[in-house]
Amino acid sequence: MGMTMTQKILAAAAGLPEVKAGQLIEADLDLVLGNDITSPVAIHEMDKFNKDGVFHKDKIALVMDHFVPNKDIKSAQHCKCVREFACKNEITNYFDVGEMGIEHALLPEKGLTVAGDVIIGADSHTCTYGALGAFSTGVGSTDMAAGMATGKAWFKVPSAIKFNIVGKPSKWVSGKDVILHIIGMIGVDGALYKSMEFVGEGIHNLSMDDRFTIANMAIEAGGKNGIFPVDDVAIAYMKEHSKREFKVYEADADAEYDEEYTIDLSTLKPTVAFPHLPENTRTIDEVGDVKIDQVVIGSCTNGRLDDLRIAAEVLQGHKVAKGIRCIVIPATQQIYLEAMEEGLLKTFIEAGAIVSTPTCGPCLGGYMGILAEGERCVSTTNRNFVGRMGHVDSEVYLASPAVAAASAITGKISGPQE
Amino acid sequence: MKANGTVFKYGDNVDTDVIIPARYLNSSDPKELATHCMEDIDKDFVNKVKKGDIIVADKNFGCGSSREHAPIAIKAAGVSCVIAETFARIFYRNAINIGLPIIECPEAAKGIEAGDEVEVDFDSGIITNKTKGTSFQGQAFPEFMQKIIKAEGLINYINQK
Ligand code: SF4
C-alpha cells in the first residue's frame, strides 16, 4: 500500500522504508521551536537531563512573541529565562525585540523551514509550515525539552484526509475563507490525529500567504498537520528566503485516505466563524446584522503582506467607523518594513486604524486590544473560544482581512463589496 | 508489563479543564495536582481512587489545552492506565511523555462499565474485563514506547539510554 506525503516524510526521518497509519516511530528533527510562554517550561524540564546542552545550536528556534515587548513583570521574567538559556547554549535562532515576529510568520521568512523538514514546536500552530511541504506539528513542553536535548521526537503516524482543491477563487475570497469553509464542513475534530493533505490544480491559484493561512488552521480541525505539495510557487518562496536544501516528497498514487473532499474555490464566498467555535461558519450573505466594537488584523494566521495589502485596499479612501477600534499588527519586522515602503501603513493610519509592532498580543487575550464584557471583535486570528480575547462575555468573529477591514468601515460584520 | 484495577468510566470529550481546572495550575507539584484530579467532572474521584485503578472513556479524551498538568494529575492520583475510544492528540503525547500508559480501543470503551475489574497487558495490547469475562485487542506499544513508560517518562528514558 502506498504512503501519503506526510507518511513519506516521517518514514525518511525515522530511517524506515515504509510506515503505516497508527505506527509509532522515532524521527530525527530538523527544527525545534518554542516561544516566550512555552520555552521557560521546557528549559526547566531540561534541567532534569543528566547531560548538558542542546543537540544542535542551529536547529532550535526561540521566538519571543506572545507578550513581547514585555507587557508585565511575569512576561519579562519568562523572556529573561529564555534569553539566558539562548545565550548559554549559543542558540543561533533566538529572536527577541527588534528581530522578532510572530513565530509562524517569522520562521519561513527567515528560511528556517523548508520542504521535507520534520519540525516540532511547543505551540499548537506549528502546523503552519506544512504550506511549504514540511511535516510540522504542535507538542507539549516535555517534547520540546527532549527535542532540544536529543534532536528526536516520537510520533504516531497519522492517516490522512485528502482535500482536492479545484477552480479559481473570486477576488475577495482568500485562504482564510477556504480553511473556514473546510472547518465548517468537517468540524473542530473532523481531522483529529490526521493529516490534512491539500492537492489539486486549484492550489496554483493560492498564493504562498494563502497556503500559510490554510495550513495554520489545520489544528482548528483537530489535525496533526496540514500539508501542501511543493510546486513552483513554493519552490520560488524557498529559493528567495532560504539557503537550506529542501526535499520534495509526493504522495504515492495508491496512498490511502480516510476521506476525500473536493473544494471548488470558484464557489466559495467570504466566510465568518461565529462564537465560540471555528466550525460555526456562515457565508457573508448569511451573517445578518452584527454590530461590532473592535477589529484586529494580524496574527500568525493573517498578519502577512498579502493580508495587509488587501486590508489596505479595502480601507483606502475610507474611515474606520466612529467608535470602532481597528488594530493592525504586521506579523514580522520585515512585513512591517515592506508595508511601510508600499505605503500600506499610511493608508491604515489615515483611515483611523492603529499599527503595532509585531506581537501575538490580542490574539490570545494577552494585551494590545483586550475586549470588555459584551464587546464584539471581528478578527483575522484563528480561535474564537469563550474569553479568548478578553472578558468571558465578549465575542470573537473570525474572518479574512478583507472582511475585517470592511467591517471596520461599517461598524458591523460586512463583506468587502458593500 | 501489566495494569490491574477497578474502572472509573466517563463519556465523550473529557477536556483538560475538567481533568485539572485552570485554577490549580499555579502549582506544578504532582501530589497537589492529584488532590484536584477530575474535580469538575467527578467530585468523588479523588476519595475513591486506589493505586492501580483504570480510567475508561469514550471519544476525544483530554481535548482542550496542551497543559501537561492533566496527565500528571491522573498519574499522581494512582491511575495505572487510561483506555479510551480516542484521545486528543496533544494529551496523548503528553501522557506517554510523562509515563502515563494510555490505550485506544473503541471496543473496550464500549464493553467496560464503571466498577469492572480490568487487566491491561501492555506488551500484547490485550485488555481483559475480568468482571464480565471478555477481552479486547488494543494497540500494543512498540518497544521504545514501553521503555518510556517503564522509565516513568521521556526524560528518564533518555537519561537511561
Ligand atoms: S498569533 Fe495567536 S495563534 Fe498565532 S502564535 Fe500568536 S497567540 Fe498563537
**A363 CB under 6 A from ligand 1?**
yes
Q: Assess B145–A contact: CB distance below 8 Å, yes or no.
A: yes
pLDDT at B14: 86
User: Which amino acid, residue A22?
Assistant: G
Q: Which of residues 95-134 of B touch A (CB under 8 A)?
A: 96-98
pLDDT digits (tens, 9 = 90+) for A198-230: 999 999 999 999 999 999 999 999 899 999 999
- Give pLDDT, residue B17: 74
Could you give the CA distance from residue B99 to residue B159 in angstroms, rounded to a whole number?
A: 14
pLDDT at A4 over 80: yes
How far is the C-alpha of A37 from the C-alpha of A175, rounded, in Å?
28
Note the pLDDT of residue A413. 98
Q: Does the distance separating the beta carbons of B90 and A138 come in below 8 Å?
A: yes
Q: Residue A349, by phi and psi: left (phi above 0), alpha (psi -120 to 50) or beta?
A: alpha
Percentage with pLDDT > 70 across chain B: 94
Gap from CA of B85 to ligand 1 centroid (Å): 30
A192 with B88: Cβ contact below 8 A: yes
Give B70-98 as a DSSP string.
Answer: HHHHHHHTT--EEEES-B-HHHHHHHHHT
A347: Cβ contacts below 8 Å, ≥ 6 apart = A312, A315, A316
pLDDT at B65: 64
What pLDDT is attached to residue B59? 87
Mean pLDDT of A367-375: 95
Between A55-59, B60-64, B101-105, the lowest mean confidence (pLDDT) is in: B60-64
Residue A355 has pLDDT above 80, yes or no: yes
For chain A, what are the domain ranges?
5-263, 272-410
What is the residue-averaged pLDDT of chain B?
89
Integer angstrom CA distances of residue B110 from A180, B9, B114: 33, 10, 11
- Ligand 1 atom, smallest distance to A383 CA: 3
Beta-carbon contacts of residue B122 (< 8 Å; ≥ 6 apart): B1, B2, B3, B101, B103, B140, B141, B146, B149
The answer to whether the A5-263 and A272-410 domains have the same CATH topology is yes
Determine the pLDDT at residue A305: 98
C-alpha angle with apex A413: A411 to A414, nearest 5 degrees? 95
Report the residue of chain B nearest A223, measured CA to CA.
Answer: B89
Low-confidence winner among A207-216, A347-356, B147-156 (lowest mean pLDDT): B147-156
Looking at the complex, does the CB of residue B74 fall below 8 Å from at least one CB of chain A?
no
The predicted structure's pLDDT at residue B6: 98
> C-alpha grid cell for residue A309?
495589502
Could you tell me which chain B residue has the CA closest to the CA of A145? Answer: B155
d(CA A190, CA B117): 33
Distance from CA of B122 to the nearest CA of A (A): 14
Please report the pLDDT score of residue B26 as a whole number.
61
pLDDT band at B88 (very low <50, low <70, confident <90, very high): confident
| CATH class of the region A5-263 | alpha beta
* CA of B94 vs chain A CAs: smallest distance (Å): 6
In this complex, do A124 and B154 lie within 8 Å of one another by their Cβ atoms? no
Taking only the tens place, the pLDDT of each residue in B37-54 is 999 889 999 999 999 999
- Digit-coded pLDDT (tens) for B24-38: 766 667 899 999 999
Preceding amide of A69 cis, omega within 30: yes
Alpha helices by DSSP H, listed for chain B, are 16-19, 30-34, 45-48, 69-76, 89-97, 106-111, 143-150, 154-160
- Most confident segment among A51-55, A75-79, A342-346, B57-61: A342-346
Enumerate the H helices of A229-332 as residue ranges.
232-241, 299-302, 305-315
**Cβ neighbours of B23 (radius 10 Å):** 10
B156: closest chain A residue by CA = A49
pLDDT of residue A91: 98
Cβ separation A154–B94 shorter than 8 A? no
Cβ A144 vs Cβ A38: under 8 Å: yes
A299 C-beta closer than 6 A to ligand 1: yes
Residue A42 has pLDDT above 70, yes or no: yes
A396 - beta bridge partners?
A377
Beta-carbon neighbour count of residue A330 at 10 Å? Answer: 30
User: What value does the mean pLDDT of chain A take?
Assistant: 95
A405 half-sphere exposure, CB direction, 13 A CA radius: 28
The complex's ipTM? 0.83
Query: Torsion-angle region of residue A299: left (phi > 0), alpha (psi -120 to 50) or beta?
Result: left
Mean pLDDT calculated for residue range A140-150: 93
pLDDT band (50, 70, 90) for residue A248: very high
- In this structure, CATH architecture of domain A272-410: 2-Layer Sandwich (3.30)
